[in-house]
Structure 1
Amino acid sequence: MKIHFIGIGGVGMSALAQLHAMGGDRVTGSDRLISKGYTDMALWDYLKKLGVELYPQDGSGLDHRTELVVLSSAIEDDNPELVKAKALGIPIMHRSELLAKHVAAHRTIAVSGTSGKSTTTAMIYDILAFAGMSPSVITGAAILSLQKEQGVFGNVYKGNSDILVIEADESDGSIVKYKPYLGVCLNLQKDHKEISVLQGYFKEFISHCKTAIINAEEENLRVLAPQAKTFGLSLGDVHPSEIKVDGFGSDFTIQGQPFRLHVPGLHNVSNAVAAVAAALQMGVDLDTCAKALNKFQGIARRFASIGSYDKIEVIDDFAHNPHKLGATIAAAHLRGKRVLAFYQPHAFTSIKLLAPEFVESFAKHIGPQDHLWLTEVYYPGGTIPQGVSCRTVYEGLKARGVNVSYDDCRERILAEMAGAAQPGDILLVLGARDPTLTDFARKLLASLKERQSVSGCKNCMLGNCCLHYSK
């Protein structure tokens, strides 16, 4: 079967593309990033290695032999590829519908929640794999153990059993399409949609699960499924005790079994407890869970250390909503004496919906010794509604007395961060979607080593420092 993916660079789309290429289908795909000249990316190299043919988003990858077109919610109705697919009469399927078919064909564990999905999905996968259960996985971030041990890109793996672990996304309501064997609900916070809307999605999702496990400490979830199995940090059927968190991980016990986790932050203890609760439901014992999690290496762009110089560490992280940002900054404070953070919002809708929550989170976690740099919202192109600016958050933080700067030139921010850094500091690069953020983190480390100050946009290291392609 020949399948074409519009927006193949998206993490959910690329995972399905890989899965079908691994299964023997002929896969083609297009992406805006290819159209914009971003052709030197590790994902493109890996997709080509699997035999996937890549095209700019202009319709050139579609022809009469294409049997199915897959797209995500990010694709607009006037997209040239979608227009051509309709003209050719090619069947069109949303990414979530294709994923739902895989969910139905397996004994699926679906992990949901507004924060922690990717990490918990990876933890469950690693536990089941360590237990010899050979699961498959489809997730929103590359699992480091898969990259290192299997040589794959890491956000998908095809195992030999009927078990599949997936990340169930609530942002566009597609979570209601999945009917898993086991559903895990981590948390429910205002993100993408209002709480009342998200509760409707989660209630329907839970009703579709053969068994559901929810966070007992999340009132927004507990009211939806009072009879569900539970986990938590202090409440629930499965919960830890004797928790000790440090800058590099945590120690805790569950029902007398000691655990050591090598990813930092109290939020990761909660993720691990959820993973253990799911694994126990699948028949794995606590000792096996502990041994597997002791080996857990994490996932891409989740508190990923880029390197250190002069006792200054640069960390790259995907955090992009108020809850995740707060958790990441709190974890960084456990590791360094001071935090210098750069945050690029990933969506205009996020700022429009959550500006007060962003202000509250940063005001709570950016201490008097810290400093935060903000830049404009990432704009990948297309017809995404704009009309809001990160300046709203900046002005709110200034009014609260937070040490914050705003600049739409990342070159200047890089120079300021590198110039301000002192031994013992943690430099955080925070944000989602933009594929150049990790490059920014690497260049920040390089600037620490060089300690050279560069000013102005004309020599911008990225060539698009304002990141506002519509300008």
Structure 2
Amino acid sequence: MGEAKSYFFVGIGGSGMLPLALIVHGRGDLVAGSDRTLDQGRLGDKFAFLRGRGIELFPQDGSGIAGRDQIVVTSAAIEEHVPDVVKANAVGARRVTRPQLLAELFNEAKSGIAVGGTSGKSTVTGMIGWILQACHRQPTVMNGAVMKNFVGPDFPFASALVGNGEAFVSEVDESDGSIALYRPAVAVLNNITLDHKSLDELRHLFRDFAAKAGKVVLNLDDDETRFLAAVLPPEKLLTYSFRDSKADLFGSEVVEEE
């Protein structure tokens, strides 16, 4: 690992920003941030958690932007007139969006596992991360939701896991088109339904996403992903189903337990 970089997350309390900040910080880089919710005096436990992990927090008034050596990370929720953004532009700091930074880190990993689809991404990302952790693979996991299995007294906001293994597991988002930024070793696609974009746009996005992956895990119980399985090279596929016994992984006699 090279010299530590300095990152400033504008909107650090967001569901996609907080886990990414934790991952960057866990890799040894310097992390600070701001959030309008912090300025409003809300969600104190979340920000106390970040401070407890050594992440410095500032008012969202530009005071946290130290100079051009900082990398300023913003989400789609951050407007150009926010003082931190205005200050970053004024000092010439490098700016990246949350998806750009996540894709950069993900694509550097030796074994990137990207979880896509319209619904269930957070749940499946957490499940894959937990399985890899249980197998002592020490994955890095980026999620948009708190993962119950990783929650502990000192880690209540467990939406990320930082490991030193080869696997980087992340849910990836199609709503803003940023799914196109990822080059996964394994792409997991659970379902495709009408949401955010037209169905034709979604089919195109997910087909390109699958085409770039080394291996594609597809759900045959969803009509759209089943169609995708029919047009991708068979050697790239690993299919699963609870209905089709011809799938590579077929589930039957499943018992749900508490």
- State TM-score, norm by structure 1: 0.50
Match of 2:74 in 1: 71
CA distance in 1, matches of 2:242, 2:175: 25
Give unmatched runs, 5+ long, in structure 2.
none
The one of 224, 227, 235 aligned to 2:228: 224
Larger radius of gyration: 1
Deviation, structure 1 residue 152: 5.9
Larger displacement relative to structure 2 (71-80 or 45-54): 71-80
Number of corresponding residues: 246
Q: Which residue of 2 aligns with 1:242?
A: 253
**Retained in 2: the 8 A contact 1:136–1:161?**
yes
Partner of 2:51: 48
What are the residue-to-residue correspondences of 1:262-411 with 2, within 5 Å?
262=258
Identity %: 38
Unaligned runs of 5+ in 1: 245-249, 251-260, 263-471
Amino acid at match of 2:88: A
Q: Say whether residues 1:163 and 2:167 are aligned partners.
A: yes
Q: Which has the higher contact order (CA 8 A, sep 6+)?
A: 2
Instruction: State the 1:184 CA deviation.
Output: 0.2
1:241 alignment partner, SS class: coil
Q: 1:247 is matched with which residue?
A: none
Structure 1 residues 211 and 237 mapped into 2: Cα distance closer, same or farther (>3 Å)? same
1:113-148 superposed Cα distances (whole Å, 9 cap, x missing partner): 111111111111111111222212111111122113
1:87 deviates by: 1.3
Q: Which moved more, 1:3-12 or 1:57-66?
A: 57-66
What are the Cα deviations for residues 261-292 of structure 1, in whole angstroms up to 9, with x where unaligned? 53xxxxxxxxxxxxxxxxxxxxxxxxxxxxxx
Q: Which runs of 4+ in 1 moved over 4 A?
A: none
8 Å contact kept, 2:140–2:165: yes
Paired residues of 2:68 and 2:92 also in contact (CA < 8 A): no
Residue 8 of structure 1 pairs with residue 15 of structure 2: no
Give the 3 Å change call, closer, same or farther, for CA 48–142 of structure 1 in structure 2: same
What secondary structure sits across from 2:128 in the alignment? helix
Q: RMSD value over aligned CA atoms?
A: 1.9
| Counterpart Cα distance in 2 of 1:103 and 1:23 | 13
Sort the Cα spacing of 1:215 and 1:39 in 2 relative to 1 into closer, same or farther, 3 A. closer
| TM-aligned CA distance change 1:111 to 1:27, over 3 Å | same
CA distance 1:36–1:177, change in 2 (3 Å): same
Q: Which residue of 2 aligns with 1:82?
A: 85
Q: Aligned in 2, Cα 1:194/1:56: closer, same or farther, shift over 3 Å?
A: farther
Which residue number in structure 2 is paired with residue 103 of structure 1?
106
Matched with 1:35 is 39
TM-score, with length taken from structure 2: 0.88
Note the C-alpha offset of 1:150: 7.4
> Superposed, which structure 2 residues align to 1:183-202 within 5 Å?
183-202=187-206
Shift of 1:239: 2.3
Amino acid at match of 1:156: A
> Residues 300-333 of structure 1, C-alpha deviation per residue, up to 9 Å, x if partnerless?
xxxxxxxxxxxxxxxxxxxxxxxxxxxxxxxxxx
Q: Is the 8 A contact 1:199 1:221 kept in 2?
A: no
Cα offset, 1:66, TM superposition:
4.7
In the aligned structure 2, how far is the partner of 1:164 from the partner of 1:229?
19
**2:141–2:162: 8 Å Cα contact kept in structure 1?**
yes
Shift of 1:69: 0.5
Alpha-carbon separation, structure 2, partners of 1:2 and 1:174: 24
SS of the residue 2:195 aligns to = coil
SS in structure 2 of the partner of residue 29 of structure 1: strand
Structure 1 counterpart of 2:10, which letter?
A: I
In the alignment, is the contact (CA less than 8 A) between 2:33 and 2:58 conserved in 1?
Answer: yes
